């Protein structure tokens, strides 16, 4: 349904009706541009926008009591490429959006944030629930604007404001946009006729997702790739897997595929166990590349990134977004362009592999041996003990082909990176912009409601407890097929792998890093009326995750045993590589 629009005409001058019409106009324009979701946190000052959002049946409206939860739900929705409208009342409510805004900024996720505010006369005079919201999120937004209290005299600008905010959020560098919207009381009004759509501002502003690479840039890039020993490092943002596979085969290079790349199923060229292979000093030394082609975002593996830096290879970065991702100061050439299109264009240039045929074979053979060693070490059978690596290895492979897997930062994303088997068609998400553990459940809710597809979440117990208020939002979204797998080792498992674990006395380590919380996670989920149970075997995990959500599946672990399992798997891979020599 689209509200009728008429040419500009005198409107009811009452402030509440003007505000209602202003909000309805913004929303009408956003719907015209393709927005289909809004996330609202309850509050009074945001009433005009909240009522306008719920008046449009084209929008799925999600209500979350906790503003931080709301903002991460909007982030999860935005991962699909179209921003959600995120709304809160005035005051500190807006401050709780900040973490998700930063993640959206650093991960290039579109989001349109509407913070309600007091009118100018109530600012800086001690009015209740009033803070300085001007440029509240600093440089973490693509655009900030405060249009002031809505005025009929400016009605001809309202559609342009909406179009501008959408274009700024979805352009060459997608990200969050912040509109600070002051409203005067009374807050409940009647919507009048909307300003007419005009071709200049009513048409969707089409900005390319990336710049096209020029022919000259492609020729120069092809010359750089004229090397026998090269690797393609593929992260999130590679686009069409077939395009990357074609380039890899033309070059005769392996694809070191991050778990979020969508490329791990390319068995002829993909290497998923790069982290384990490069822990073997002999293999790492014998396979140093001359050229590294980085596609998309950097991988999660610290071992891989350190090896790449130490290689002194020529490193080329191709990314669809114009951000500089080079923490090790190792990249010598950067191209902002559509990754898949660049791959196809390079193949079309007729690249001839300069690589020895054994170069790619060495990598793929080592990959096969590593995967077999991992499987054997984890005893991947129906009665196998459910270790954390085995959960990470099995979860994506247990999902249907069109599913989404959201993975928490900290140990879960590392375990999926090191051990995960990602089936073709399963999309992996992780908030790697700021690498925080906040808002992970809420992000997964956003993915589930935006896609309508089966969605699984792999999360640790600390991150689960940290975002447990998101379970309230999940109660109201009973149709969301979200299957939460929480690995419970009663604390911060990742710290057991760090020097602090051996450098500190046990009591101090537990106080500051282990941080056991003692929470009964099954009871916590049950308190929110969400089905929950603990599973003990791989067969039980697979049976549980095959059931549509919402549900919580707990896997119990211990931190010391987890460190030992990781060491066992690494030693097994190393032994397998030794046998190849």
Burial of 260 (0-12, 13-18, 19+ CB in 10 A): buried
The second-level CATH assignment, the architecture, of 379-580 is 3-Layer(aba) Sandwich (3.40)
Q: Which two tokens stand for residue 241?
A: 């897997």
Helices (H), 239-280: 241-251, 274-278
Average the pLDDT over 39-67 and give the result.
96
Residue-wise pLDDT tens digits, 328-340: 888 889 889 899 9
The structure tokens 């553990």 sit at 437
Q: Residue 52 pLDDT > 90, yes or no? A: yes
Q: Where in the chain is the domain with CATH 3.40.50.970?
A: 5-202, 379-580
Q: Taking the CA atoms of 313, 307, 269 and 238 in sequence, report the sign of the dihedral they define.
A: negative
* Better pLDDT: 580 or 358: 358
SS3 243: helix
Percent of the chain surpassing pLDDT 70: 94
Counting residues of the chain whose pLDDT is more than 90, the rounded percentage is 74
What is the structure's pLDDT at 4? Answer: 45
Of the listed ranges 9-18, 285-294, 543-552, 572-581, the one predicted with least confidence: 9-18
Q: What are phi and psi of 12, to 5 degrees?
A: -55, 120
Rounded-to-integer distance, Cα 74 and Cα 237, Å: 20
Average pLDDT of the segment spanning 527-544:
94
Instruction: Quote the tokens at residue 398.
Output: 């247990």
User: 423, 451 in Cβ contact below 8 A?
Assistant: no
The predicted pLDDT at position 212 comes to 60
Where helices occur in 252-356 by DSSP H, the ranges are 274-278, 281-286, 302-310, 339-348
Over 50: is that where the pLDDT of 8 sits?
Answer: no
With contact defined as beta carbons under 8 Å apart, do 255 and 244 qualify?
yes
Q: What is the pLDDT of residue 381?
A: 59
Answer with the residue of higher pLDDT: 8 or 293.
293
pLDDT, greater one: 571 or 474: 571
- Is the bond into 377 cis (omega within 30 degrees of 0)? no
Q: For residue 555, give the H/E element and its range.
A: strand 551-556
Residues of the chain with CATH 3.40.50.1220: 215-358
With H, G, I as helix, E, B as strand and everything else as coil, classify residue 435: coil
> C-alpha 360: how far from its chain's center?
31
Cβ 335 vs Cβ 227: under 8 Å: no
Q: How confident is the model at residue 477 (pLDDT cuts 50, 70, 90)?
A: low
* pLDDT value of residue 202: 37
pLDDT value for 204? 41
Handedness of CA 502, 503, 504, 510 (dihedral sign): negative
DSSP E strands in 445-490: the ranges are 455-460, 482-488
Spatial contact of 355 and 230, defined as CB atoms under 8 Å apart: yes
CA-CA-CA-CA torsion sign (523, 525, 530, 533):
negative
Q: Which residue has the tokens 């760090």?
A: 498
Task: Give the range among 147-161, 197-211, 395-409, 452-466 with minimum mean pLDDT.
Answer: 197-211
Rounded mean pLDDT, 210-229: 80
Does residue 502 contact residue 508 with C-beta atoms inside 8 Å? no
Whole-number Å distance between alpha carbons of 169 and 163: 10
Q: Which tens digits make up the pLDDT trace of 406-452?
A: 999 989 999 999 999 998 999 999 999 898 899 999 999 999 999 99
Pair 480, 450: CB distance under 8 Å? no
CATH 3.40.50.1220 applies to domain 215-358: yes
pLDDT for res 229: 92
Per residue in 340-380, pLDDT (tens digit) is 999 999 999 887 777 788 999 999 999 999 999 999 999 86
Higher pLDDT, 429 or 8: 429
Q: What is the pLDDT of residue 211?
A: 53
Q: Quick one: pLDDT band at residue 1, thresholds 50, 70, 90?
A: very low
CA 408 – CA 389 distance, rounded (Å): 14
Tell me the pLDDT tens digit for each residue of 166-208.
999 999 899 999 999 999 999 999 999 999 987 643 344 333 3
Please write the tens of the pLDDT for every residue from 98-131.
999 999 999 999 999 999 999 988 888 878 888 8
What integer pLDDT is reported at residue 12 of this predicted model?
64
Superfamily of domain 5-202: Thiamin diphosphate (ThDP)-binding fold, Pyr/PP domains (3.40.50.970)
User: Given this model, what pLDDT does residue 379 score?
Assistant: 81
Q: In whole angstroms, what is the distance from residue 530 CA to residue 126 CA?
A: 42
Beta strands 551-556 and 532-535, pairing class: parallel
């Amino acid at each position: 349904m689209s509200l009728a629009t008429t040419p500009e005409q005198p409107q009811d001058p009452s402030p509440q009706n003007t505000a209602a019409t202003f909000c309805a106009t913004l929303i009408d324009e956003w719907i015209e541009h393709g927005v289909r979701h809004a996330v609202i946190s309850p509050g009074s000052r945001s009433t005009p926008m909240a009522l306008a959002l719920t008046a449009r049946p084209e929008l799925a409206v999600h209500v979350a009591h906790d503003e931080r939860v709301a903002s991460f739900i909007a982030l999860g929705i935005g991962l699909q490429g179209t921003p959600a409208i995120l709304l809160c009342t005035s005051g500190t409510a807006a401050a709780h959006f900040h973490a998700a805004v930063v993640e959206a900024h650093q991960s290039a996720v579109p989001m349109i944030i509407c913070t309600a505010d007091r009118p100018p006369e109530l600012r800086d005079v001690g009015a209740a629930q009033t803070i300085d919201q001007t440029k509240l999120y600093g440089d973490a937004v693509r655009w900030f604007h405060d249009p002031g209290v809505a005025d009929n005299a400016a009605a001809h600008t309202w559609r342009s404001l909406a179009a501008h905010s959408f274009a700024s959020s979805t352009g060459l560098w997608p990200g969050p946009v912040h509109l600070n919207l002051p409203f005067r009381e009374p807050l409940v009004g009647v919507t009048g006729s909307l300003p007419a759509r005009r071709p200049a501002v009513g048409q969707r502003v089409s900005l390319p997702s990336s710049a096209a690479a020029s022919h000259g840039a492609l020729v120069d890039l092809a010359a750089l790739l004229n090397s026998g020993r090269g690797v393609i490092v593929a992260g999130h943002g590679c686009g069409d897997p077939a395009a990357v596979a074609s380039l890899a085969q033309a070059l005769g290079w392996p694809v070191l595929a991050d778990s979020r790349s969508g490329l791990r199923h390319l068995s002829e060229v993909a290497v998923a166990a790069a982290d384990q292979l490069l822990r073997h000093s002999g293999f790492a030394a014998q396979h140093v590349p001359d050229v590294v082609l980085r596609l998309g975002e950097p991988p999660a593996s610290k071992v891989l990134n350190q090896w790449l830096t130490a290689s002194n290879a020529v490193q080329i970065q191709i990314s669809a977004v114009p951000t500089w991702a080079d923490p090790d100061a190792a990249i010598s050439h950067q191209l902002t362009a559509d990754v898949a299109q660049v791959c196809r264009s390079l193949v079309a240039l007729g690249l001839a592999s300069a690589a020895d045929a054994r170069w790619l074979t060495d990598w793929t053979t080592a990959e096969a041996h590593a995967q077999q060693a991992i499987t054997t070490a984890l005893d991947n059978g129906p009665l196998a003990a459910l270790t954390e690596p085995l959960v990470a290895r099995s979860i994506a492979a247990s999902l249907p082909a069109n599913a989404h897997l959201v993975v928490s930062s900290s140990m879960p994303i590392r375990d999926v990176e090191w051990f995960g088997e990602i089936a073709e068609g399963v999309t992996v998400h992780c908030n790697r912009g700021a690498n925080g553990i906040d808002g992970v459940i809420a992000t997964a809710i956003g993915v589930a409601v935006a896609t309508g597809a089966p969605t699984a979440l792999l999360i640790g117990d600390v991150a689960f407890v940290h975002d447990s208020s998101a379970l309230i939002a999940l109660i109201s979204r009973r149709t969301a097929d979200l299957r939460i797998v929480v690995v419970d080792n009663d604390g911060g498992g990742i710290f057991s792998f760090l020097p602090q674990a051996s450098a500190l006395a046990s009591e101090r380590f537990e106080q500051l890093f282990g941080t056991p919380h003692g929470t009964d996670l099954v009871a916590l989920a049950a308190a929110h009326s969400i089905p929950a149970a603990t599973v003990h075997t791989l067969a039980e995990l697979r049976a549980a995750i095959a059931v549509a959500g919402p549900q919580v599946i707990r896997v119990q672990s211990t931190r010391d045993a987890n460190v030992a399992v990781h060491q066992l798997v690494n030693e097994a891979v190393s032994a397998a590589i030794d046998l190849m020599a």
